[in-house]
Chains A and B, each alone.
Chain A
Amino acid sequence: GAVVSQHPSRVICKSGTSVKIECRSLDFQATTMFWYRQFPKQSLMLMATSNEGSKATYEQGVEKDKFLINHASLTLSTLTVTSAHPEDSSFYICSAIGRAEQFFGPGTRLTVL
């Protein structure tokens, strides 16, 4: 079946640094990818929709200059958390649409010290 991977699975960084998270569709081409964030004991919150070759569409309240999204190819989207702060610590999950279904990656646990 379709597989979506994320790298890294876990990252710890210092406050003020930037962190890049990669999302790959492994056996299908994904023209659309989504980025979600999940805080402990809460549901997934959609951050942005990423379309290959165009600018991402951000949900209301999500800072586009802080969460940079690049979708340069049909199999790769990246999320960069710029100048990370402790409140950005969360579980980041990407998702890709393939064969009319939406598949999710395993998630990336970000901890900002």
Chain B
Amino acid sequence: DAKTTQPPSMDCAEGRAANLPCNHSTISGNEYVYWYRQIHSQGPQYIIHGLKNNETNEMASLIITEDRKSSTLILPHATLRDTAVYYCIVRVATSSNTGKLIFGQGTTLQVKP
């Protein structure tokens, strides 16, 4: 299973962009990179995912390096409500083709006023 490495914590000023890095150097060609976040005492919330190309949605942008060994999640204008633990996950393929999401320790993002 491809593993991910994230910094344990980061701070960001409110209104500024938050850039959260993730290393996944052992990712294989058919594995996607997923990002979820978990606000305290709630279930994880899906943010974005990608395979090779950069992706953008209403919540964030995902930049994946050309060699796919690392990626960056960008929250363009962080707010206090974005304070959460952010998980970068490589989706593991299983025989039933419904890949499990295995969570690492994530990055605790603290958005400060």
Contacts and interface: CB of A to CB of B under 8 A. Distances in A.
A62 to B, nearest CB: 13
Chain B, interface size category, equals: 10 to 19
Interface in B57-113: 87, 94, 96, 98, 100-106
B100 A93 contact: no
Listed residue (A34, A43, A46, A103) with the most chain B CB atoms within 10 angstroms of its CB:
A43
B20 to A, nearest CB: 16
Contacts, number: 48
A11 interface: no
Interface stretch (A66-74, A79-87, A94-102): A94-102
Contacts of A51: 96
B101 A105 contact: no
B87 A43 contact: yes
A104 B87 contact: no
B41 interface: yes
A51 B101 CA distance: 15
Interface of A: 4, 6, 31-32, 34, 36, 43-46, 49, 51, 91, 93, 95, 97, 101-107, 109
Interface of B: 36, 38, 41-46, 87, 94, 96, 98, 100-106
